[in-house]
Amino acid sequence: MIYRTRPRVLLITLIIASYALMMPLSLTTGLTIDVSQWLLSLSPFLISCMTLAVYARHKRYGRISSIAECFLFGVLLGLPILFSTYAAMKLDRPLADLWLRQIDQAMGLDWWSFIRTVDRHPLLAWSLGIAYQSFGFQLMAIPMVLCAVGQKDRGYTMILCFGAIGYCASIIAIWFPAQSAYVTYHLAEHPPLHINTSLGYGFLSEFNAVRSQHTFVLETSKAAGIITFPSVHAACAVLYSWGAWSIKPARYPVLGLNLMMAVAALSHGSHYFIDIPAGFLLAACVIAALTAVTTQSINPAQATLQSGAYPQMHKRRVDQVQYDQTAHAVHREPHPALIATETAPAHSKAG
């Protein structure tokens, strides 16, 4: 039977599977998470979104229901993805900083020259910092806007892709743990004047602790992005641009913002150059795979309906029915000679 896989169903399945796998991962790696702290901070939002989603679905307010669900699913998916990044680093593989730096140098890219160029322009440094910190806002805002304009499947698919990117990045990062370019290039010895380096250094305490401690408790209030290769910011820059591309007024502003976010991953996120194209490639593969899964196997009737050809087909069908009814009426109409015979006097019939 030909069918279409709905992105909402896949997203719910991914969330359920993610939470089911957290326990065995915790037992395997010695990594635990303070769930109570997470629930205490987010439970009001989770309960509100869940209530609104159920009520709106019951009342058949489709757009409101999908908006609430996108926010809810995005928040729910964030915790297991964060857990997976820490689990990857908990395996304590050898550091890959030297290898990543050598790749940059082999490509002829000068990291220090780039940092100095950005730091010489205060407005550029500030703008890149704002773009870098828009990561979480875009993740929640773009799917909700997509639902609001009637593109809920694209909104669900975007969150689904985010989940896949997070898990794929965690798996890849197992073999490429890195302390970041700030440490490798000794940025602390020559600190920039206008680049905010707090985000580039802020994750190091968590990164070193999860790798060195036999058992580690992940506190969500202290959690940070601890993956260097590939860059999740760069991957999500592609994802966010793809998500907003179908909204014409937002298409190029969002694209510009995310180009800046990808660049800021170098200056503000302490990434190596090679991390950025690796993130781009990861996002492209995930988006291509999941859009193929969620849009393939559409039967001809659905394809006709979605392509806008249904009104023309329906009009032709109505015209055909009207034609058939007219032809049938003409076929049943008595011949004029028969009408004259039926209406003639009885004596004339006898004669």
3-state SS class at 32: strand
Q: Region of 195 please: left (phi>0), alpha (psi -120 to 50) or beta.
A: beta
Closest CA relative to residue 29, chosen from 80, 88, 114: 88
- 3-state SS, 207-257, equals HHHHHHCCCEEECCCCCCCCCCCCCHHHHHHHHHHHHHCCCHHHHHHHHHH
How do residues 224-237 score in pLDDT, each as one tens digit?
889 999 999 999 99
pLDDT tens digits for 117-159? 999 999 999 999 999 999 999 999 999 999 999 899 999 999 9
**Which of 227, 246, 220, 61 lies closest to 153, judged by CA?**
246
Q: 265: closest CA among 193, 203, 199?
A: 199
Higher-scoring residue by pLDDT: 40, 267:
267
CB count, 10 Å around CB of 60? 8
Q: Indicate the range of 42-56, 197-211, 303-317 predicted with least confidence.
A: 303-317
Q: Which residues pair with 217 in a beta bridge?
A: 32
And the tokens for 336? 């004029």
Residue with tokens 């870098």, as numbered in its chain = 132
Q: So what's the pLDDT on residue 300?
A: 46
Q: What is the pLDDT of residue 175?
A: 94
10-49 pLDDT, tens per residue? 999 999 999 999 888 888 888 888 877 777 777 788 888 8
- Using an 8 Å Cβ cutoff, are 50 and 199 in contact? no
Yes or no: say if 118 and 268 are a contact pair by the CB < 8 Å rule.
no
Q: What average pLDDT does the segment 217-228 reach?
A: 87
- In this prediction, residue 2 carries a pLDDT of 35
Mean pLDDT of the chain: 84
Cα separation, 107 vs 127, in Å, equals 27
8-state DSSP, 31: E
β 216-218/31-33 pair status? parallel
pLDDT of residue 303: 45
Please tell me the pTM assigned to this model: 0.81
Name the helix (H) or strand (E) containing 327.
helix 310-332
Task: With cut-offs at 50, 70 and 90, classify the pLDDT of residue 199.
Answer: confident
Check: CB of residue 147 under 8 Å from CB of residue 66.
Answer: yes
Average pLDDT over residues 167-182: 94
Q: Residue 338: pLDDT band by 50, 70, 90 thresholds?
A: very low
Q: Is the pLDDT of residue 342 over 60?
A: no
- Between residues 319 and 151, the one the model is more confident about: 151
Q: Tell me how far apart the alpha carbons of residues 111 and 185 are, in angstroms, rounded to a whole number.
A: 8
- The 8-class DSSP code of residue 2 comes to -
Q: How far is CA 244 from CA 154, 164, 253, in A?
A: 9, 18, 9
pLDDT at residue number 289: 93
Q: What is the mean pLDDT of residues 289-313?
A: 59
- Residue 261 backbone phi and psi in degrees, to 5: -65, -40
Stretch 327-341: mean pLDDT: 52
Answer whether residue 270 shows pLDDT above 80: yes
Which amino acid is residue 236, in one-letter code?
C
For position 200, what pLDDT does the model report?
86
61 pLDDT band, cuts 50/70/90, is confident
Beta carbons of 306 and 150 less than 8 angstroms apart: no
Q: Give the type of residue at 45.
A: F
Judge residue 169's burial from the number of C-beta atoms within 10 Å of its C-beta, 0-12 exposed, 13-18 middle, 19 or more buried. buried
Query: pLDDT tens digits for 240-264?
Result: 999 999 999 999 999 999 999 999 9
Residue written as token pair 């609001």? 148
Residue 351: band (very low, low, confident or very high) from pLDDT cuts 50, 70, 90: very low
> What is the reported pLDDT for 83?
92
